[in-house]
């Protein structure tokens, strides 16, 4: 029996990349998974893959930056599975890769709306249910850019620092109500986001790999393994943690 047997997990940004790997891993560990994303085709395809392997999953389209969508996502999860034990606020966008002087303010607003407002709305929907249910686990996707500065990604960096702040404040607010709230701070992970940031340029990709002292980027599955730890009872004494999963970047 998997370690998430009988658990229901809602995962945002779950159609691709890190979110997809988390959804697949949680389903393999017995969770009933609500795959949420804007990307209908890849979201439904993932659900098909999980169900074909004997797991349980549904796709619900929701934009994390829209309050109504996040409330609807939770209502749907409760309607379908009768409860939610785990909420993973993973959806995020990198925004433009340019210096502050050239940054477009509409793009700035979009990065903050998805990465900060989206995580806040996801936590708000989750705690509203989890307080009544008697507990739960929330996992927010930050980044090493939530722990140190990255030039030409200032709004992204600021939004990921904010996710760490939200995680710590929320963990304190809900600690006595049996809701554990943690964050993962990944280094560079091989997903579409990294391919966009590096513009698929092999030299830039090699430079990104070298950012990690271990000399390579991470895989989505390696981040999913950390997510499983933080969302399972194995981490029952952890709350308010922003855990680097970064091949050693934050050791430097
Ligand atoms: N890839 C990396 O190197 C890396 C490193 C550190 C942190 N992260 C974080 O991990 C998370 C996942 O990143 P990824 O690399 O898998 O990215 P990705 O671009 O491969 O996947 C992100 C997913 O989020 C979805 N999404 C985007 N905006 C959304 C919205 N408004 N509502 C709902 N879904 C939305 C996309 O459709 C996509 O499926 C992000 O929060 C990202 O900032 C990634």
Work out the burial of residue 7: count CB atoms within 10 Å of its CB; fewer than 13 is exposed, 13-18 middle, 19 or more buried.
buried
C-beta of 16 in contact with ligand 1 (< 6 A) = yes
Query: pLDDT tens digits for 122-144?
Result: 999 999 999 999 999 999 999 99
C-beta of 11 in contact with ligand 1 (< 6 A) = no
Give 166 Cα–ligand 1 centroid separation in angstroms: 18
What's the whole-number mean pLDDT along residues 179-193? 98
Identify whether 103 is a catalytic site residue.
no
Question: Cα–Cα distance between 71 and 121 in angstroms, integer?
Answer: 8
The pLDDT confidence band at residue 1, using thresholds 50, 70 and 90, is confident
Domains annotated for the chain, with CATH where assigned, are 8-187+221-245 (3.40.50.720)
Residue 189 near residue 217 (C-beta atoms within 8 A): yes
C-beta of 182 in contact with ligand 1 (< 6 A) = no
Work out the burial of residue 100: count CB atoms within 10 Å of its CB; fewer than 13 is exposed, 13-18 middle, 19 or more buried.
exposed
Question: Which residue CA neighbors atom 43 of ligand 1 most closely?
Answer: 92
C-beta of 60 in contact with ligand 1 (< 6 A) = no
What's the whole-number mean pLDDT along residues 205-234? 98
What's the whole-number mean pLDDT along residues 225-252? 98
The pLDDT confidence band at residue 161, using thresholds 50, 70 and 90, is very high
Q: For the chain, what percent of residues have pLDDT higher than 90?
A: 100
In 3D space, the residue among 161, 189, 10, 193 whose CA is nearest the CA of residue 84 turns out to be 10
Give 74 Cα–ligand 1 centroid separation in angstroms: 20
C-beta of 92 in contact with ligand 1 (< 6 A) = yes
> The pTM is what?
0.99
Average pLDDT along the chain:
98
Question: Which residue CA neighbors atom 41 of ligand 1 most closely?
Answer: 92
What's the whole-number mean pLDDT along residues 25-32? 98
The pLDDT confidence band at residue 102, using thresholds 50, 70 and 90, is very high
Question: Which residue CA neighbors atom 36 of ligand 1 most closely?
Answer: 13
């Amino acid at each position: 029996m998997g370690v998430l047997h009988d658990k229901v997990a809602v995962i945002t940004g779950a159609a691709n990349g890190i979110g997809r790997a988390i959804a697949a891993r949680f389903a393999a560990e017995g969770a009933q998974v609500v795959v949420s994303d804007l990307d209908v085709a890849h979201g439904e395809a993932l659900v098909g893959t999980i169900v074909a392997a004997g797991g349980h999953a549904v796709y619900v389209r929701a934009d994390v930056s829209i309050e109504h969508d996040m409330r609807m996502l939770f209502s749907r999860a409760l309607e379908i599975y009768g409860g939610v034990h785990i909420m993973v606020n993973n959806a995020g966008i990198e925004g433009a890769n340019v210096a502050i002087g050239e940054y477009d303010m509409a793009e700035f607003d979009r990065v903050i709306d998805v990465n900060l407002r989206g995580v806040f709305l996801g936590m708000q929907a989750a705690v509203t249910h989890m307080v009544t249910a008697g507990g739960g686990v929330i996992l927010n996707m930050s980044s090493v850019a939530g722990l140190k500065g990255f030039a030409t990604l200032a709004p992204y960096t600021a939004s990921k620092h904010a996710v760490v702040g939200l995680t710590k404040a929320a963990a304190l607010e809900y600690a006595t109500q049996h809701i554990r709230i943690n964050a993962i701070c990944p280094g560079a992970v091989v997903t579409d986001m990294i391919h966009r940031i590096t513009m698929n340029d092999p030299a830039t990709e090699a430079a990104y790999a070298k950012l990690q002292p271990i000399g390579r980027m991470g895989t989505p599955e390696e981040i999913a393994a950390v997510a499983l730890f933080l969302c399972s009872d194995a981490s029952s004494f952890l709350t308010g943690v922003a855990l680097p999963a970064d091949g050693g970047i934050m050791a430097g």
